[in-house]
Structure 1
Amino acid sequence: MGWNTLDDVALAGKVVLTRVDINVPMEGGVVTDTTRIDKIGPTVGDIIARGGKVVLLAHFDRPKGKVVPEMSLGHLKAALEASLGRKVVFGSDCIGAPAREAIAAAAQGDVVLLENTRFQPGEEKNDPALAAELAALGDVFVNDAFSAAHRAHASTEGIARLLPSAAGRLMEAELRALEAALGSPQRPVVAVVGGAKVSTKLELLGNLVGKVDHLVIGGGMANTFLVAQGIEVGKSLAERDMAPTALEILAKAKAAGCTIHLPVDVVVAREFKASAANETVAADACPADAMILDAGPATVRAVTAVFEASKTLIWNGPLGAFEIAPFNAATNAAARAAAALTRAGKLISVAGGGDTVAALNQAGAAGDFTFISTAGGAFLEWMEGKELPGVAALMA
C-alpha cells in the first residue's frame, strides 16, 4: 500500500516516538472505558520486543493550546500501567527538558508518556518548529492513531516528515481493512449509510455511488429521499430543502450502475419515546400525524438479501432511531444478519463511526464484523475519498 509498518524500520536501541489516541472517557478522575488504551498494547509490545524505547505522544480533550490541569495525560498513568502491564514514566511536558528527562529516566521495557500535545499552541497549527522539537526527542516515528489521521497536526503529520516513519499495528490493521473494503474490494460491494441528515453526508454519498454496487440508505436520511420522490412522510424528520440534492444523488447512482435501496415499509409512531405505540405501514403510507422512526421488516428482508448477494459490506449509521426500543429493531436485525454472514466466511464487513459502533454493540453484532473502526472523523473522511494527512505522511 506504499506505507511502512513496524516490520520495515529498525527499532533496536532507538527511541520510538509513538503517536497514539488515548482520548478516553473519564469520570471523577477515573478512566471509565479503557478500550483505546487497550488497543495500543500490540504496538507497544512489538516495539519493546524489538529493542526500542516507547515514548507515547497523545492529545487529550481540547485545551486549545493552553495548560488545563484536568486535561493532563498524567491522569491516565495508572490506567496505562494496568493495561500495558509496564511501568509508565510521565513527562510533564511533551518537549524540552521535562520530556528529555523522562525519556532518560525510563529503563528498557518501561513506557514513557509525555504531556498532552495540545497544551502546545503549535500542535493544531502543525507548527514546523514544534514538529522539530518533538522529532528531536527520538529516532523513529510510529503513528498508531488512525482516529487522528485526518488532522494535519505537528504530532501526526509534521513529525512524520522529519524522522523515519511507520504505521503502528492498530493503524496498519485499520488501513488494511479499509483498503480491502473500498480500495480493491471483493465485489459486489454494499454500503449502508444511515443517520439523521443528508446534508452531513453529501460528500460521503457522492463518493460511494461511484464505488459501490449497492447503497442502502436508512434513518432520517431515507425520509429525505422519499420526500424527493414525492412521498409524504408526515411529521418525520426530513430535510425538504435537500430534495433536489437527493434526486441528483439518485441520478448519479443510476449513471454509475449503483443500486440505491430505500425503505419499502416503515415503523411509525405519534411519539418519540421508548415503547411508544407504533405500527408498520408501507413507505408511502405514513399517516400525516405520525413520524417514521424505523425501517420495517420487509425492508430488513430486502437489505439482508442484498447482504447475502454481496462480498463486501461497509456500514456507517443506523437504519432507525436505534437509541430507543422498539425502534432499534431494523438496525439490530440487519446487523445480526451481516454478523452471521461474516461469521460464515461469506462477507467481509467493515464498520465505523460513533453511532455505528454503539448500534452494532447494542445488537451484539460488533464482535463478528471483520473490522470495526473507532475512528469517527477519519473513517468518514476516508469513506468520502479524502486524503488523510497523517496517512499520507507515512508513504514510503
Structure 2
Amino acid sequence: MRFNRIEDMDLDGKVVLTRVDLNVPTENGHVTDTTRIDKIVPTVNAIRDAGGKVVLLAHFGRPKGQRVDSMSLSQIVSALETALGQSVSFAEEAVGGPAKRAVAAMAPGDVVLLENTRFYEGEEKNDQTFAASLAALGDVYVNDAFSAAHRAHASTEALARLLPSAAGKLMEAELDALDAALGDAVRPVVAVVGGAKVSTKLDLLSNLIEKVDHLVIGGGMANTFLVAKGIEVGNSLAERDMADTARDIIAKAADTGCTIHLPVDVVVAREFKAGAASETVAADACPADTMILDAGPQTVEEIGKVFANCRTLIWNGPLGAFEIPPFDAATNAAAQEAAKLTREGKLTSVAGGGDTVAALNKAGVAGDFTFISTAGGAFLEWMEGKDLPGVAALADARQ
C-alpha cells in the first residue's frame, strides 16, 4: 500500500494536526498504563525534528457527543509530558476560541493537546462541518492511530481529505507489517486463528483461506471443526449448530489450496480450573465426561513443522485456555517456536488481538515477533479483508 510518510511532507513551521490513541486506563485521574502514550513519542519527535508544531487529537472513553468531566483529556497531560520530556499545553476545547488561541501561541517544537474529540457529536458522525473546524486549526494532518482507523470519524477519515495527509510512525509500522503479512507476503504463509467461537470469526476465516497456504485452528473453534468432521468432543465448548458452516469452510479451503490444520491430540480435564487433573488423548478419543482445554504435544510438533516450512506467519488467538496452567502449554510452545524462527531470520511473524498479545506476553516472546499490533478491532477487521476508512483516506491522499 502506498501512503505518505512524515518524511514526504514539508513540516517546517507548519501546524500538524496529529491523530493519536490516548485512550489509556486511568484511576483517580492518573494514568495507570502509559503504553499507548509511549508509542506516540516517535511520531511527535519526528514532527518536532522537522520543525513542525504538534497539535494532538484524540478520543477518551465513550462520552457520546457530550462533555463528561471524567473523560477529559486534561488528566493525560502529566503522563504525556513525562513521556515526551517537555511541557504540553492543553486546550479545553477541540475547536473554537480555546483551540485557536492555544495553536496561535505555538512555536516550532511545541506540543498542544486538544480536548476529547468525542465530546462533539460531529466526531462519530464524521460530520464535514466539524472536520472543517478541526482542519482550520492546522496545515498538515498526520494519522498515528491505527487502532481507530476502522472508524469513519471526523478526526480519522474526513480530516485526512481536507489537508495534506500522512501516516505517523506507529501507523506506518502497522501498515508495513500488515502488508508484509497478507498484502505482499513472502510465501508460504501460515495463519494461526484461535478463540472460543467460529461464529465470531466467520469473516476472518473466509478471508484467510483465500490468502494463506496453511490455516492452524485452535481453541474452542477447533472443537467445532472436530464436531463437523464427526468427532465427539465430550463436554467441550463447541458450536454444534455451526458444524455445517465449518464443513463449508473446509470445502472452500480445499478449493483455494489452503491446508487446514486441526488438533491431532488434545489435553482434556473434568473441570475448568488452574491445576486441574488432566490427560492427553487423541483428538478422536475425548472421554464423554471431559472437556478439551488445550492442544496436545503432537499437535504442537505438527504446528512447528508447518512454521518451519513457511516464511510468513500471522497469528490471532490462543490454542487453548492459556489463562490457566497447565492449559497454556500449547500456546506457549508454539509461540516460542515461532519466536525462535523469527530470531533466526527464517520467519516474518505478525500477531494481534487482545488475547493474542496477552498470550505472547505470558509466553515471554512478544519482543521476538516481527511485529505485534495492539490495535484490537482495526487489526481484526484488516484480517477480515475489510477496508479501514482511516487507512483508505491516507491511501487516497497519496494519489
- Common topology (TM > 0.5): yes
Work out whether 1:153 is the aligned partner of 2:135: no
What do residues 156-198 of structure 1 show as CA deviations (whole Å, max 9, x unaligned)? 0010110000000110111001111111111110000000000
Kindly indicate whether residue 185 of structure 2 is the aligned counterpart of residue 199 of structure 1: no
SS of the residue 2:24 aligns to: coil
Shift of 1:27: 1.8
> Per the alignment, in what secondary structure is the counterpart of residue 63 of structure 1?
coil
Q: How does 1:185-264 map to 2 (within 5 A)?
A: 185-264=185-264
Give per-residue Cα distances to partners, 1:176-224, cap 9 Å, x unaligned. 0111111111111000000000001000000000110000000000000
Deviation at 1:28, TM superposition (A): 2.3
Q: How does 1:1-396 map to 2 (within 5 A)?
A: 1-395=1-395, 396=398
**Could you list the per-position Cα deviations for residues 340-383 of structure 1 after superposition, in whole angstroms to 9, with x for gaps in the alignment?**
10001010000001110000000001100000000111111111
Which SS does the other structure have where 2:285 is aligned? coil
Mapped to 1, the partners of 2:28 and 2:331 lie a distance apart of 34
> How far apart are residue 7 of structure 1 and its match?
1.3
> Whole-Å Cα distance in 2 between the matches of residues 219 and 155 of structure 1?
37
Using the TM superposition, give the Cα deviation of residue 31 of structure 1 relative to its aligned residue in structure 2, in angstroms. 1.2
1:97-136, Cα deviation, whole Å (9 max, x unpaired) = 1111222233432210001101111111101111011101
The separation in 2 between residues aligned to 1:105 and 1:74, in whole angstroms, is 19
The alignment covers a number of residue pairs equal to: 396
Displacement of 1:313 after TM fit? 0.2
Q: Distance in 2 between matches of 1:324 and 1:125?
A: 42
| Preserved contact between residue 86 and residue 109 of structure 1 (Cα < 8 Å) | no
Matches of 1:31 and 1:285 in 2, distance apart? 49
Amino acid at match of 1:315: W
Please say if residues 269 and 290 of structure 2, whose CA atoms lie closer than 8 Å, have aligned partners that are also in contact.
Answer: yes
Partner of 1:199, secondary structure, is coil
Distance 2:250 2:27 in 1: 45
Within 1, Cα distance between the matches of 2:98 and 2:198? 48
CA contact (8 A) 1:53 1:109 kept: yes
**Which letter does structure 2 place at the counterpart of 1:72?**
S
SS for the counterpart of 2:200 is helix
Matched letter for residue 213 of structure 1 = D
Do the aligned partners of 1:147 and 1:377 also contact (CA within 8 Å) in 2?
yes
1:82 and 1:155 map into 2 onto residues whose CA distance is 25
Q: Distance in 1 between matches of 2:35 and 2:93?
A: 25
Q: Which residue identity does 1:274 align to in structure 2?
A: A
1:122 match: secondary structure: helix
d(CA) in 1 for partners of 2:348, 2:87? 38
Q: Which amino acid aligns with 1:298?
A: Q
Instruction: Give the partner amino acid of 1:46.
Output: A
Q: Distance in 1 between matches of 2:227 and 2:25?
A: 39
Unaligned runs of 5+ in 2: none
Secondary structure, aligned partner of 1:322: coil
Letter matched to residue 122 of structure 2? G
Runs of 4+ in 1 over 6 A off after TM superposition: none
- Return the offset for 1:244: 0.4
Identity %: 76
Looking at structure 2, the residues matched to 33 and 53 of structure 1 have their Cα atoms a distance apart, in angstroms, of 26
CA contact (8 A) 2:74 2:90 kept: yes
SS in 1 for 2:380: helix
Q: TM-score, normalised by structure 1?
A: 0.99
For residue 67 of structure 2, give the secondary structure of its aligned residue in structure 1: coil
Question: What is the one-letter code of the residue matched to 1:34?
Answer: T
Q: Hey, what's the Cα distance between the residues in 1 that align with 2:93 and 2:355? A: 34
CA deviation after TM superposition for structure 1 residue 9, in Å: 1.2
Residue 302 of structure 1 deviates from its aligned partner by: 0.5
Q: Give the drift of 1:387.
A: 0.8
Residue type matched to 1:294 in 2? D
Alignment RMSD, CA only? Answer: 0.7
The answer as to whether partners of 1:103 and 1:112 remain within 8 angstroms in 2 is yes
Once residues 343 and 241 of structure 1 are traced to their aligned partners in structure 2, the CA distance between those partners, rounded to angstroms, is 42
SS of residue paired to 1:254: helix
Distance 1:168 1:142 in 2: 6
| Contact 2:149–2:388, Cα closer than 8 Å, also in 1 | yes
- Residue deviations 1:45-82, cap 9 Å, x none? 01011110000000011111111111111100000000
1:382 is matched by which residue type in structure 2?
W
Deviation (angstroms), 1:144: 0.3
CA contact 2:215–2:259 (8 Å) conserved in 1:
yes
Contact 2:217 2:260 in 1 (8 A): yes
Q: Is the 8 A contact 2:181 2:314 kept in 1?
A: yes
Paired residues of 2:13 and 2:108 also in contact (CA < 8 A): no
Q: Partner letter of residue 306 of structure 1?
A: V
Is the partner of 2:345 in helix, strand or coil? coil
